[in-house]
Amino acid sequence: MNNLENVLNKLDLDEQNIINTRRYIHENPEVSFEEKNTSSYIKNFYENLGMDAKSCDDGYGLIVDIDSGNPGKCIALRADFDALPVQEINDLPFKSKKDGVMHACGHDGHTAYLMYVAKALNEIKTQLNGKIRIIHQPAEEKMPGGALSMIKDGCLEGVDHVLGAHVMSNLKANKMFYHLGETQTGRANFKLTIQGLGGHASMPQISNDAILAGSYFVNEVQSIVSRRVNPSSMGVVTIGSFDGKGSANSINGLVTLEGDVRYFDNETKDLIQTNMENIVSGIEKAFSVKTDLNYQNNYPVLYNNPEFTKYAVEEIKKAGLPIEECDKQDPSEDFAYYAEKIPSTFLYVGCDVNDGKSHPHHSSEFQMDENCLIVVAKSIATVTLNYLK
Q: Coil, strand or helix: which one is 367?
A: coil
Cβ atoms of residues 208 and 289 within 8 Å: yes
Give CA–CA dist 321/382, Å, rounded: 10
Give CA–CA dist 82/330, Å, rounded: 20
Give CA–CA dist 346/380, Å, rounded: 10
Write the CA distances from 355 to 153, 368, 369, integer angstroms. Answer: 43, 11, 10
Q: How far is CA 284 from the centre of its chain?
A: 36
Q: Does the annotation count 355 as an active-site position?
A: no
For CA atoms 192, 198, 202, 204, the dihedral sign is negative
218 phi, psi to nearest 5 deg: -55, -45
* Strands, E assignment, 39-170: 53-55, 62-67, 74-80, 131-137, 161-168
259 phi, psi to nearest 5 deg: -155, -175
DSSP H or E run through 28: none
Q: Does the annotation count 91 as an active-site position?
A: no
Residue whose C-alpha is closest to residue 24's, from 32, 34, 12, 16: 16
- Of 30, 35, 80, 82, which is the active-site residue? 82
- Of 35, 80, 88, 140, which is the active-site residue? 140
Give CA–CA dist 161/258, Å, rounded: 37
Mind telling me the catalytic residues? 82, 140
